[in-house]
């Protein structure tokens, strides 16, 4: 994006853009105003409705958290719905390592958010919140249909059938009807990829999917996220401490994880297809897709179901390491 796009459009002043950081849901542009203020311009990706939804949710979430005393998050300088962007004060720092310090910072944020929730504060449901197995099942089936609609490729039916067949088997079990009663406020995309370490402090960013969600889904998404590469010791530490924060049962999550893995398979396939369509001029091949993370999540699902272990948990990252050895 060129400087001229924003040079005369922001109410806070003219800006010079020096850096672009592209992400799956947005692009962030580092800039500097005439008075020397460093800013981050977050431009949301997608159609008009999706952009408006993410922008409004992030604006509301940050405002809500500030009012509840959470300040290691971005400071909003300007909101521009007409341009599909929010301007933040720039946070200088680095992405933290996947170590004990980062895990403790994540756990502390979970504790703070849960305390705000249990004290009676109210906020909307998280985007794609899940309060039962049936909720997640419905989301998977909807995403499968979206894949087929957005990418009407001759072999797409084969790919989506692999997900649907596993989903049919899993959902035939009565345990899919279980309701997750434990709720909290959730980032819905928690991990070091959405953290900045600056001057001895961990800052958290990206709140476009924030809201009320089940504890099972919060913990499950964290453990299954492909960008969360914490080792076994840090993962165990996270599980043990999150159990103390939420009084949450690992056994319930272990039974639910295969279903959540199927949802991650659909998400991963979608991301792969989007990325390939942008890069590959000659079209997307089936081989490109079946060797992606989406296929690996299906193998992970099969492995989880075959292991039958309800006493411990192996993360997607750990499984990926075993497969790639």
pLDDT at 25: 84
The model's confidence at residue 144, banded by pLDDT at 50, 70 and 90, is very high
pLDDT at 310: 57
pLDDT at 2: 47
Express as a percent the part of the chain with pLDDT over 90: 68
**Ranges for all domains in the chain classified under CATH 3.30.200.20:** 4-89
Contact between 62 and 207 under an 8 Å Cβ cutoff? The reply is yes
**Ranges for all domains in the chain classified under CATH 3.90.1200.10:** 100-323
Q: Where are the beta strands (DSSP E) in 23-106?
A: 26-33, 38-44, 76-80, 85-89
The model's confidence at residue 40, banded by pLDDT at 50, 70 and 90, is very high
- The SS3 of residue 83 is coil
**Quick one: tokens of 30?**
């580092």
Task: Work out whether the CA dihedral 120, 236, 322, 275 comes out positive or negative.
Answer: positive
User: Which residues, including other chains, have CB under 8 Å from residue 177's CB and lie 6 or more apart?
Assistant: 132, 133, 134
**pLDDT, tens digit, 9 for 90 and up, residues 105-123:** 999 999 999 999 999 999 9
The model's confidence at residue 251, banded by pLDDT at 50, 70 and 90, is confident
pLDDT at 281: 62
Mean pLDDT of 185-190: 93
Measured CA distances, 181 to 29, 120, 210 (Å): 40, 16, 18
| Start-to-end C-alpha separation, the chain | 41
Beta-strand relationship, 15-22 and 195-198: unpaired
Helix axes 316-323, 293-307, angle to 10 degrees: 100
- Whether domain 4-89 has CATH 3.30.200.20: the reply is yes
Q: Considering the domain 100-323, what is its CATH architecture?
A: Alpha-Beta Complex (3.90)
Q: Is the pLDDT of residue 7 over 60?
A: no
Q: Is the pLDDT of residue 1 over 50?
A: no
Contact between 106 and 190 under an 8 Å Cβ cutoff? The reply is yes
Contact between 60 and 67 under an 8 Å Cβ cutoff? The reply is no
- Give burial (CB, 10 Å; 0-12/13-18/19+) of 191: buried
Quote the CA–CA distance of 12 and 34 in Å, as a whole number: 10
**pLDDT, tens digit, 9 for 90 and up, residues 45-103:** 888 999 999 999 999 999 999 999 999 999 999 999 999 999 999 999 999 999 999 99
Quote the CA–CA distance of 214 and 221 in Å, as a whole number: 11
- The SS3 of residue 43 is strand
Mean pLDDT of 253-264: 91
User: Which residues, including other chains, have CB under 8 Å from residue 3's CB and lie 6 or more apart?
Assistant: 15, 16, 17
- The SS3 of residue 325 is coil
- Which residue(s) pair with 15 in the sheet? 33
pLDDT at 70: 97
- Give burial (CB, 10 Å; 0-12/13-18/19+) of 47: exposed
Name the DSSP letter for residue 192: G
């Amino acid at each position: 994006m060129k400087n001229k796009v924003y040079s005369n459009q922001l109410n806070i002043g003219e800006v010079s853009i020096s850096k672009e950081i592209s992400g799956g849901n947005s692009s962030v542009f580092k800039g500097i105003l005439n008075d020397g203020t460093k800013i981050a311009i977050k431009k949301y990706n997608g159609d008009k409705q999706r952009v408006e939804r993410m922008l409004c949710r992030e604006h509301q979430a940050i405002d809500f958290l500030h009012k509840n005393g959470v300040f290691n998050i971005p400071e909003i300088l300007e909101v521009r719905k007409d341009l599909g962007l929010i301007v933040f004060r720039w946070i200088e720092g680095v992405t933290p390592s996947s170590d004990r310090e980062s895990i403790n910072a994540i756990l502390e944020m979970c504790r703070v958010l849960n305390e705000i929730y249990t004290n009676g504060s109210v906020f909307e449901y998280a985007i794609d919140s899940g309060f039962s197995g049936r909720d997640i099942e419905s989301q998977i089936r909807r995403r499968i249909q979206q894949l087929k609609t957005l990418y009407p490729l001759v072999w797409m039916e084969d790919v989506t059938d692999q997900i649907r067949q596993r989903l049919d088997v899993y959902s035939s079990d009565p345990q899919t009807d279980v309701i997750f009663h434990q709720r909290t406020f959730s980032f819905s995309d928690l991990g070091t990829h959405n953290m900045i370490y600056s001057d001895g402090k961990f800052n958290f960013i990206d709140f476009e999917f924030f809201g009320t969600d089940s504890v099972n889904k919060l913990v499950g998404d964290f453990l299954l996220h492909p960008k969360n590469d914490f080792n076994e010791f840090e993962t165990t530490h996270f599980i043990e401490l999150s159990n103390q924060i939420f009084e949450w049962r690992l056994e319930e999550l272990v039974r639910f994880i295969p279903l959540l893995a199927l949802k991650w398979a659909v998400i991963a396939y979608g991301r792969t297809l989007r990325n390939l369509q942008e890069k590959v001029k000659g079209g997307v091949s089936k081989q490109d897709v079946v060797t992606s993370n989406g296929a690996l999540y299906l193998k992970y699902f099969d492995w989880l179901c075959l292991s039958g272990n309800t006493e411990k948990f192996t993360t997607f990252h750990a499984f990926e390491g075993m497969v790639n050895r």
